[in-house]
Homo-oligomer: A and B are copies of this chain.
Amino acid sequence: MTLTLISQSKCFKGVQLVYSHFSPTTQCDMRFGIFLPPHARENMQPLPVLYWLSGLTCTEQNFITKAGAQRVAAELGMIIVVPDTSPRGVNLPGDKASSYFGEGAGFYVDATVAPWSRNYRMYSYVTKELYNIITTNFLVDVKRTGIFGHSMGGHGALTIALKNPEQYQTVSAFAPICAPIHSEWGERAFMGYLGKNREFWYKYDTCELIKKRGWLGPPILIDQGTEDTYWKELQLHPELLQSACQQSHVKLTLRMQKGYDHSYYFISTFMEDHLRYHARYLA
C-alpha cells in the first residue's frame, strides 16, 4: 500500500499533511488529512491519536481548514487523522444527486445493497484499513486512540467507538445524529445502503448500541447548539441519546450550547474543550 503525499503545510510548529492511497476496501482512491504536532519530530515517543469523522458533504478539507484544531493539538502533542466521508469518483447511478446519500454521505456503514455494497464500506475503511495505515506509517500509541466527529460524523464516531471499545478509548461529538433510525437523513441512507429490513439498521444506531452494549469508557462528551436548524428539524435527537444513556447507566455530558448553529463556527468554538477532554483521558 503506497501513500501519495498531496500537500503539506507547516502549522503551529507541526505539519498538516494530506495523503491519498488506493483503498481495497472502497475500491477507489481515498484521501485523508493527518496533523503531526511538533512532538512527532522532536522525539520518538508514540503519540496519542484522534480520528475526526466529518459530516454530510464534507471532504477532509473542511476540518483541517476550518476547525482550528491544530493550535491545541500542537500544544497537547496529539495526532489528528481526518478521512473523507465517502468513496469518490466511482460513478454509481445517483451518487451525486443528493447531499444526503452517495458522495459525501457514506454514513460510516458497510453497505449491503447493490450497487453500493462494492464501494460504500466506510465502516470497514475507518476501523480497519485507515486504522492500520496510521498504525503502520506513523508513530501512534494505539492504547491512546480517541474518535470524534460532527453531525453524520458524530454518528460515525459514536457507533464506531461503541462497537470497538478496545480500539477507541474516548469518544465525543458535535451535534451528532444520535438516532439515525428516527431521522430522515438516517432513514434515507440506511434504506439505500442497508435495505428495507430495519433489523439491519440497529447495529448502526447509537441509541440502540448504547442500550445493547453500554459504554465503560470515560463520560461521552456531546455539544449541541440550540440554534441548530437540523436539531430543530429532528435530525439529531440528543434527547433520545440522553434517555438511552440514563436507561443503560452510561455517563453522558450533554451540553446544550445556547445560540450556536450547526456550522464550523460552532465547532471551532468548542474544539479546544474536546481536544482537552480526549487528552485528559488519553494521558
- Interface on A for B, CB 8 Å cutoff? 9-13, 16, 65-66, 68, 70-71, 225, 227, 259-261, 263-266, 268-269
Contact = CB atoms under 8 A, between A and B. Distances in A.
Contacts of A11: 265-266, 268-269
A167 to B, nearest CB: 30
A268 B9 contact: no
B68 A265 contact: no
B65 A10 contact: no
A78 to B, nearest CB: 17
Contact of A9 (B10, B13, B70, B265): B265
A261 B66 contact: no
B259 A10 contact: yes
Contact of A68 (B71, B259, B260, B263): B71
A263 B8 CA distance: 10
A223 to B, nearest CB: 12
A65 B264 contact: yes
A66 B227 CA distance: 22
A266 B16 CA distance: 11
Contacts of A9: 260-261, 263, 265-266
A268 B68 contact: yes
Nearest to A258: B10
Contacts of A261: 9-10
Task: Indicate the member of A10, A65, A70, A260 with the most B CB atoms within 10 Å.
Answer: A10
A261 B126 CA distance: 30
A10 B266 contact: yes
Closest 3 CB pairs of A and B: A9-B265, A11-B265, A68-B68
Given A10-B269, A13-B269, A70-B265, 7 more contacts: A9-B260, A10-B260, A10-B261, A65-B66, A65-B264, A68-B71, A68-B268
A259 B263 CA distance: 31
A265 B10 contact: yes
A259 B268 CA distance: 25
Nearest to A69: B68
A61 to B, nearest CB: 10
Contacts of A70: 265, 268
A174 to B, nearest CB: 14
A227 B10 contact: yes
8 contacts: A9-B266, A10-B265, A11-B266, A11-B269, A16-B265, A65-B264, A68-B68, A70-B265
Contacts of A10: 225, 227, 259-261, 265-266, 269
Contacts of A265: 9-11, 16, 70
Nearest to A7: B263
